[in-house]
Amino acid sequence: MSVRSLNSLRKVRAFAMSIQRARLRRRGVEVHPSSTVSLSGRTVTGMKRGIVIDAETLVAFKTLLITRDPVSGEDRPIHIGKRCFIGGGSTILPGVTIGDEVIVGAGAFVFEDVPPRCIVGGNPARILKTDIEVGKMGRLKGADENTRRMWRK
């Protein structure tokens, strides 16, 4: 019964995400349909397509993506690649490009470009690990097996 009732919430979640994508599009943020952006995340952009989020990416809660440079006053676009995970409370500053298959740790402060297939974290964000393999939404390859093991009866 519980699995059946949880599956019925998928339609509600899909509807809420479509509203979120439309709201973000009006603010200059382009989000791929297979990506998810938390409702508590903030985006500050002054240009069309100022922030682009590619396929199968997850932007977690209380993140800040800002394209306006406070010093020069110009807008510089942000691009987030495919299969990325942007951790909760992290900040992405103007002009940053995050490569494909990147994990940005919670609370990270990213002000430089991030190369593909790595994990970054800290303030300022530094590369912690390279040549990683991730799946959908930036999940590490062993995460599914660990979840199955933990919830096995």
Supply angle C-alpha 34, 39, 44, rounded to 5. Answer: 95
Residue 17: pLDDT band by 50, 70, 90 thresholds? confident
Domains and CATH numbers, the chain: 2-151 (2.160.10.10)
Q: Give the pLDDT confidence of 96-131 residue by residue, as tens digits.
A: 999 999 999 999 999 999 999 999 999 999 999 999
Note the pLDDT of residue 58. 93
Give CA–CA dist 125/96, Å, rounded.
12
